[in-house]
Amino acid sequence: MFIKIGFDIELAIASPMALVYLLHVHPSRRDDLFAPEIVNTWPSLPVVEEYLDAFGNQCGRVTAPFGTKQVRFQSESIIRDSGLPDEINWQAFQHDPTELPLATLQFLLPSRYCEVDSELMQFAWNQFGHTAMGWGRVQAICDFVHNHIRFDYNAARATRTAVEGFRERTGVCRDYTHLAVTLCRCMNIPARYCTGYLGDIGIPPVPYPMDFSAWFEVYLGDRWYTFDARHNTPRIGRVVMARGRGGGDVPITMAFGQNALTRFDVTTFEVDAQGCAV
């Protein structure tokens, strides 16, 4: 399968400033691209530095000089995909924390949007302590979050935490993900936040504007597995861009100064080998 991916994002800015972006596909998917992914900017801004952050995500930093009123980021690529839905493995087992690989331990800790050290700890053990450890427990968490939160674009709020999503019971994909990640961590299951492309492939089109999506991965057995509390069903065509402890680690753009989002268009749909929609 081939998937066309891309974005067109514009920020209005009030003064010279640095901007960091996490707009490339994740390095683990780089070899699936038909050609190297190029992020174009208008006006043309020199990339001060391309780098990998502490979580292995590819980032870029640009500087908007004096007199710049808008900064626009645009890219368009085609990526190969297996066409297979997210894997299901009911035999994947849960480790005791004493046996977990050291690299996974940071994904058990509280983070800005995932307050493990909160009312959610006792709730999680009361709600899920009786469930079968491993895959079944994570699926029970997804079932709960999927039914607990009502999806509403108009209720989106960039500062909403897992506890607030739990109390308010409304939000968007990042809110489902923050709550599910937090509940998994409360149950000693390493969980990390993911952001990327997820188009309407293999499902009827949904009546929402295309956006980047958020889901999560948990460490069971000897690897990380994908879960999605918002959709709560295996999906096709997921393309990860960045991973972290929560949404604060993987901002699509971070402007170090006063700014406002004026354009946000995301593209992700199936194409043939010539790039034509199918």
Which of the 8 DSSP states describes residue 58? E
Q: Which two tokens stand for residue 268?
A: 């992700």
Q: Could you give the angle at the alpha carbon of 234 between the alpha carbons of 171 and 194, nearest 5°?
A: 55
Amino acid at 195: T
> In the prediction, which pLDDT does 66 show?
87
What is the rounded distance in angstroms from the CA atom of residue 190 to the CA atom of residue 142?
15
Q: Do domains 2-83+251-270 and 97-238 have the same CATH topology?
A: no
Q: Please, how many CA atoms are within 13 Å of residue 203, restricted to the half-sphere of its CB?
A: 13
Amino acid at 63: T
What is the rounded distance in angstroms from the CA atom of residue 273 to the CA atom of residue 261?
34
> In the prediction, which pLDDT does 173 show?
96
CATH architecture of 2-83+251-270: Sandwich (2.60)
97-238: CATH, from 3.40.50.2000, 3.10.620.30, 3.40.50.300, 3.90.1150.10? 3.10.620.30
- pTM for the predicted model, two decimal places: 0.95
Q: Annotate 19-57 with b (16+ C-beta within 10 A) or e (fewer).
A: bbbbbbbbeebeebbeeebebebeeebeeeeeeeeebeb
Q: CA-CA distances (angstroms) from residue 109 to 113, 177, 187?
A: 11, 16, 11
Contact 253, 9 (CB under 8 A): yes
Contact 28, 240 (CB under 8 A): yes
Q: Is 106 helix (H, G, I), strand (E, B) or coil?
A: helix
Q: CA-CA distances (angstroms) from residue 105 to 95, 193, 218?
A: 11, 14, 12
Q: Which two tokens stand for residue 153?
A: 């674009």
Could you please report the per-residue DSSP string of 187-235? TT--EEEEEEE----SSPPPSS----EEEEEEEETTEEEEE-TTT-S--
* Residue 136, C-beta contacts closer than 8 angstroms, at least 6 positions apart: 90
What is the rounded distance in angstroms from the CA atom of residue 82 to the CA atom of residue 234?
14
Q: How far apart are the first and last CA of the chain?
A: 10
pLDDT tens, N- to C-terminus, the chain (278 residues)? 999 999 999 999 989 999 999 999 999 999 999 988 999 999 988 777 899 999 999 999 999 988 899 999 999 999 999 999 999 999 999 999 999 999 999 999 999 999 999 999 999 999 999 999 999 999 999 999 999 999 999 899 999 999 999 999 999 999 999 999 999 999 999 999 999 999 999 998 887 788 999 999 999 999 999 999 999 999 999 999 999 999 999 999 999 999 999 999 999 999 987 778 87
Q: Is 30 helix (H, G, I), strand (E, B) or coil?
A: helix
Q: Residue 9 phi/psi, 5° resolution? A: -125, 135
- Domain locations in the chain? 2-83+251-270, 97-238
> In the prediction, which pLDDT does 189 show?
98
Q: Could you give the angle at the alpha carbon of 49 between the alpha carbons of 66 and 7, nearest 5°?
A: 80
Which of the 8 DSSP states describes residue 264? E
